[in-house]
Amino acid sequence: MAGLAVLLAAWWAGTFWLQARVPLAASLAPDRTFVSLHQLLLGNELTLHILVSLRRVLVGLLIALAIGVPLGLAIGASRPIAASTGMAFQFLRMISPLSWMPIAVMVLGVGDAPIYFLLAFAAVWPIVSA
């Protein structure tokens, strides 16, 4: 509890100190944040946001399963496929999904499509190698 109290005090002090130079910092202060959270809870908007996020995660995982399972089976069943794709897949696996964000937004636009791509990209590698 003491750690949370220190964190809250640091948050409060940081936003208080920054609001003179950065006007946006005042709206990120703990008191305004907790008021906004209270309004989200009372208006039942938080449930809607949670459901939208869960839908995005589910679609991303389903795409990863649809790609990863057949790909993993093909790699496991054929040495030539495993040999020809191994280096490329190891390279792609090491790239952080967040670093693909600008490319995904430029190619897929703003909306749910880049989110689906990023979630599927992050989840496909554990599925392929499992």
What does the pLDDT profile of the chain (130 residues) look like in tens digits?
Answer: 999 999 999 999 999 999 888 888 888 899 999 999 899 888 888 888 999 999 999 999 999 999 999 999 999 999 999 999 989 988 988 999 889 999 999 999 999 999 999 999 999 999 998 6
pTM value surpassing 0.75: no
Token readout for 76 is: 């496991």
Q: Whole-angstrom Cα distance, residue 15 to residue 13?
A: 6
DSSP one-letter code for 110 = S
Q: Whole-angstrom Cα distance, residue 125 to residue 92?
A: 9
Q: Whole-angstrom Cα distance, residue 85 to residue 74?
A: 11
